Structure 1
Amino acid sequence: MDPARDLADWPNSDLSRMIRVRPHDWHVQETGSGPVVLLIHGAGGSSHSYRDLIPLLAQRFRVVAVDLPGHGFTRLGTRHRSALDTMAQDLAALCSHEGWLPAAVVGHSAGAAVALRLALLQELRPRIVSLNPALEPFRGLAGLTFPVVARMVAMTPFIVDLALKQMATPERVSRLLRGTGSRLEPEGIALYARLFRDRDHVDGVMLMMAQWKLDGLLADLPHVDTPCLFLTGSNDATIPPVIAVDAARRMPRAEVQSLDDYGHLMHEEAPDVIAARIVDWLKSASNA
């Protein structure tokens, strides 16, 4: 996504700025006052997925939403730092550069894994809110073949172009989003369609998929001793809610709350509901 071309009519663009912190050119949106709450989107998304959650949380917090490397408007400085650990390291460097000491980090799907890894890196351990967390490695035949295919895709430019053609139509994007168990408004579908038409964004997503490994984080879950809340949607057709339940059992200070009738993108379906859950839990965690 080109900031000069695409940012003007992007959600909350008045909150946007670009920050150069090696190795990436980061796109962030920042607003509000109070303790810092960092928002991390999932694979294939961008900070736009928090477009309605940002103003709600900004009533109580300093909210910082970031595009992950290669996603949205954040430009990759290298193609070799799209793995879970390196993304968390680079995000920690961004926070240090800007003087952000997050009191809490909210992560959606794969962004929840980044948030948990970030919690293990930060000197100040932030509280973690995970929305439908993607915390299960690929299993069986998919575990053997998917990483190989993703690497081939990431290293073969014409396959990225082929993927663009497959994803370019609004009908296909709408079908993909319905497959998450969520129902988005036309505006939300159109924003994802814009992302999926952008070659750099699709390339960045594939690089993340190619380098994605959860083994280290899963082994470290018992050491995440900061309070953690897992919010799951009962209609999530992408990540089974039991994944969060299993992860929480392995963590010393984690709890799970299930929300009926919402899918994988529940923070876009019901931002007011999610904001209320986050605020209430952070308030109770602070008093504990």
Structure 2
Amino acid sequence: MFERFYPSMSWSAHQAHWPHAAHSRFVQAGGIQWHVQSLGQGPGLLLLHGTGSGNFSWRGLLPTLAEHFTVVAPDLPGHAFTSRGPEGALSLPGMAEGLRALLLQLKLTPQVIVGHSAGAAIAAHMALHFDSASRSTLIGLNPAWLPLPGLASWLFGPAAKLAALNPLSAWATAKMAAKPGAVADWLSRTGSALDAQGLDLYTRVLSDSGHVHGVLSMMAAWRLKPLAARLHEIRQPVFMHIGAQDETVPPALAHQACARLPRAALQIQDGLGHLAHEQDPEGTAAYILRCASL
């Protein structure tokens, strides 16, 4: 209903500033126009970013990972340059189905799936429901596999639903994000501090009302309880890389998730927050490569 009021971001307006833009392409699959970056050779590795971000989140890891894998990094539906898609496409099952269609279109079966935050939830859902992902190694970076406690749970539910239904909410939020220092302040509340390029990229997406409306709609549709109840069914190796200063997904939730997963290993990184992979891309890439070789 809101697609014409809140279109996806304009690629032509941002292409010159986008990391690895030479590797970008647009792919139609599952009723969604996907913005995808693909580079490298070898076994498939799928990168799934978190809520509110985009595939630019992997900018520091892509060159290293591409030395060993065929890396595919899409913008999730409703985020950045990827369209919202059909009804239900922004829910957890809907995003997973959309990604299955994308992978079929790309003829890629990922050996490794790396997800950050909500992206890790999508990876776990895929492992539970799709045979093509049931043998993939799963790597969760500050994964959001369990319902968030307190206020965060409310923001991902009723509050987000009300905001998504209000046609002015995304516009007002984008206006706020465009103010100097606003995005830096928001990101600091995740426990992470980013460099100038990171701040610029997040400012670009969060000051775009189409992106913001997609984010709010995703948050309104998100349900983690069914996934949490089935984590014990995931039988493949699962690795978790956690920033100790994460103020978005508390590290205690990672320990709880680890206890539910039959073959899980957890590593805590001191001094890093929710965007640990953007703060320390070299260390995160090295961790992914170690896990992928086990």
Fold match by TM threshold 0.5: yes
Structure 2 counterpart of 1:212: 222
Offset of 1:234 from its aligned partner?
A: 1.1
Once the 2 structures are TM-superposed, how far is the Cα of residue 122 of structure 1 from its aligned partner?
A: 2.6
- Higher deviation after alignment, 85-94 or 1-10: 1-10
CA displacement at 1:51 relative to structure 2: 0.4
AA partner of residue 203 (structure 2): A
TM-score, normalised on structure 1? 0.95
Counterpart of 1:130 in structure 2 is: 140
User: What is the number of residues matched between the two proteins?
Assistant: 284
Determine whether 1:10 maps to 2:55: no
Equivalent position to 1:99, from 107, 110, 118: 107
- Return the alpha-carbon distance in structure 2 between the equivalents of residues 142 and 57 of structure 1: 32
1:112 is matched with which residue: 97, 101, 120? Answer: 120
Map 1:54-65 onto structure 2 (within 5 A).
54-65=62-73
Q: Is the 8 A contact 1:79 1:207 kept in 2?
A: no
CA shift for structure 1 position 73: 0.6
Contact 2:156 2:222 (C-alpha < 8 Å) held by counterparts: no
Q: 1:139 Cα deviation (Å)?
A: 4.0
SS in 1 for 2:79: coil
Name the aligned partner's letter for residue 33 of structure 1: Q
Q: Gaps spanning 5+ residues in structure 2: where?
A: 1-8
In the other structure, the counterpart of 1:43 is 51
Name the structure 2 match of 1:265.
275
For 2:111 and 2:152, locate their aligned partners in 1 and report how far apart those are by CA, in whole Å. Answer: 37
Equivalent pair of 1:170/1:190 in contact (CA under 8 Å): no
Q: TM-score, normalised by structure 2?
A: 0.93
8 Å Cα contact 1:170/1:193 also seen in 2: no
Confirm or deny that 1:148 pairs with 2:158.
Answer: yes
Q: Select the residue among 173, 176, 184 that pairs with 2:186.
A: 176
Whole-angstrom distance in 2 between the partners of 1:80 and 1:88: 11
Aligned equivalent of 2:3 = none
Query: Taking structure 1 as reference, are residues 43 and 253 closer, same or farther at Cα in structure 2, changes over 3 Å only?
Result: same
Runs (4+) of structure 1 moved beyond 2 Å?
Answer: 77-80, 138-146
Contact persistence 2:242–2:254 (CA under 8 A): yes
Give the CA deviation at 1:77. 2.3
Unmatched tracts of structure 1, length 5 or more:
none
Name the CA distance, whole Å, in 2 between partners of 1:192 and 1:57.
23
Percent identity among equivalent residues?
40
Q: Which amino acid aligns with 1:249?
A: A
Q: Do residues 26 (structure 1) and 34 (structure 2) align?
A: yes
- Asked if 1:278 is matched to 2:288, the reply is yes
